[in-house]
Chains A and B, each alone.
Chain A
Amino acid sequence: MPILQSHHFWAMNCSMAAWVYSDDSAAIGALCQVEDWMRLVEAELSRFLPQSGLSCLNAVAGAPYRAGDILWQATSLALDTARVTSGRFDPTLGRALGAAGYDRSFDLLAPDEVDAMSLPHQPGAWQQVILDAEARTITLPTGAALDLGGIAKGWAADAALRLLEPFGPALVDAGGDLAIGAPPPHTDGWRLGIVDPLQPESDVAIVQLAGCGLATSGTDHRRWRQRGRMQHHIIDPSTGLPANTDLLTASVIAPTAVEADIHALILAAGGLAAAHSWLRDHPHLSAFLIHNDGAPFQSHNFADHVISYFPIYRT
């Protein structure tokens, strides 16, 4: 009789968890491997660890850098995604994030004031990144810096799910980016909440999902103040500045967690009007959006996944 086994841990400055329904005692080992995997990804892709592969790559921008497997795979995926999305997703915004004040792990940011040198933005710098598959080297344009925060957790969650799936139906939560496996025994899917950004202890909707990804991106989290202005970590690739968006959060259901992660980020940065056309052009996505004024919106197909909506009180 499969039982639900779980493992909770902290990585990438987020709370993470993994679950698997299994009667195999080895499943516990697999759950621990998920933590090991997340720590490996963090050690290689963090912008804030000076010895990470990403930091070393950014430090030698302009010259080829021989990348390890994780950095190579993640960078390749990020650049491929930039091409597919015509730059709506841009992994070369590391300098812009630093210029906006997000230049250290979020828990180390000063609560009120951050000051940083503003550097000229290089729109479309991702097009100048050179990957040499034979030599396994990555060359960034001079002055550019990679930031893989927009895909790292979703990508890592998808991979972690593959570690657990041989043991039974599994679920991985990488800081709110969810990789969702086969449904639990005798159910149609995993019961999952979407956090209300205005009342984070509550959910705005409960959905039931299996075999897909769910991710949320928004300006409600990781805010700081710079020179008297509130800043957030969603950067507009065209300006290099925190996006002037009318959306508080965007939650997306997609075939994988990394796809959900990417599209949630694009929707959150683009705002409500742009979301209409983006979702029309990507009909395989389902989306749930919260406007800055608290009003919720959903794509028509999102309702197919919803078990219930919670009343949203706006007084």
Chain B
Amino acid sequence: MRTAARNTRGRNTGARALVAALAVGATLGGWALIAHDAQVASTTTIDPVADSALASNAATLRLEPLPTVESPPGNLDEIYSSQLAPADSSALQAAPLFTLPRETMLQPLARSRSSN
């Protein structure tokens, strides 16, 4: 895909200018949204209805710690061997130590990470 994409890449400056014009123009929406948020925020401080909504949010939007999972104690080989089926050697498989929901086995398309 990457190769194909590069082969068809436009290189004239007119196309680049179009990219810039489109992209810059499109950002105005995001800008307006932030300005809108500011307007809402300033309104909530003086509107008693909004104040009550804010108090409600304080109850529902608390930060909550997530449980962590401890590594299982003991030697890894021992844990694996204890989970092997002893009777049928042809079916020997290392059982997973932890079973995750099926959907977690699928790789995400993109990943958010810090890079600023």
Binding site for B on A (CB under 8 A): 5-9, 14, 17, 19, 28-29, 31-33, 35-37, 40, 69-70, 73, 76-77, 80-81, 83-84, 149-150, 153, 155-156, 158-160, 162-163, 171, 173, 175-178, 190-195, 197, 200, 203, 206, 214-222, 233-234, 249, 251, 255-256, 258-259, 261-262, 264-265, 268, 272, 275-276, 279-284, 287, 289, 294-301, 307-315
B5 A215 Cβ-Cβ under 8 A: no
Let me know if A37 and B63 touch, CB within 8 A: no
Question: B71's contact among A14, A262, A315, by CB below 8 Å, is which?
Answer: A315
Interface residues of B in 69-112 (CB under 8 A from A): 69-71, 98, 100-101, 103-104, 106-112
When the two chains form their complex, are residues B61 and A300 in contact, meaning their CB atoms are under 8 A apart?
Answer: yes
Which residues of chain A are near B6, meaning CB under 8 Å?
32
Extra contacts, 6 of them, besides A203-B111, A280-B58, A308-B101 (Cβ < 8 A), are A14-B115, A29-B9, A175-B115, A193-B112, A203-B108, A215-B112
| Given A31-B5, A192-B110, A296-B65, residue A80 in contact with residue B35 (CB < 8 A) | yes
- Are B1 and A6 in contact (CB-based, < 8 A)? yes
Contacts of B16 in A (CB 8 A): 36, 40
**Cβ of A175: which chain B residues have Cβ within 8 Å of it?**
113, 115
Q: Is the CB of B116 within 8 A of A217?
A: yes
Q: What are 12 A-B interface contacts by the 8 Å CB criterion?
A: A73-B24, A80-B35, A175-B115, A193-B110, A195-B112, A215-B112, A222-B115, A262-B34, A265-B116, A284-B37, A309-B66, A311-B98
**Nearest chain A residue, comparing its CB with the CB of B23:** A159
Q: Which residues on B sit within 8 Å (CB–CB) of A156?
A: 23
When the two chains form the complex, which single residue of A206, A272, A287 contacts B103, counting CB atoms closer than 8 Å?
A: A206
Q: Shortest CB–CB separation between residue B51 and chain A, in angstroms? A: 12
Given the known interface contacts A77-B34, A80-B34, the answer about A312 and B112 at a Cβ–Cβ threshold of 8 Å is no
The distance in angstroms between the C-alpha atoms of A314 and B68, with both chains bound, is 7
CB contacts between A and B, total, < 8 Å:
235
In the complex, which residue of chain A has the Cβ closest to the Cβ of B28?
A73
Q: Determine whether the beta carbon of A84 is less than 8 Å from that of B38.
A: yes
Task: Let me know if A298 and B64 touch, CB within 8 A.
Answer: yes
Q: What are the residues of chain B within 8 A of A283 when measuring CB–CB? A: 54, 57, 61
Cross-chain contact A308 with B103 (CB below 8 angstroms)? yes
Q: How far is the CA of A177 from the CA of B8 in the complex (A)?
A: 26
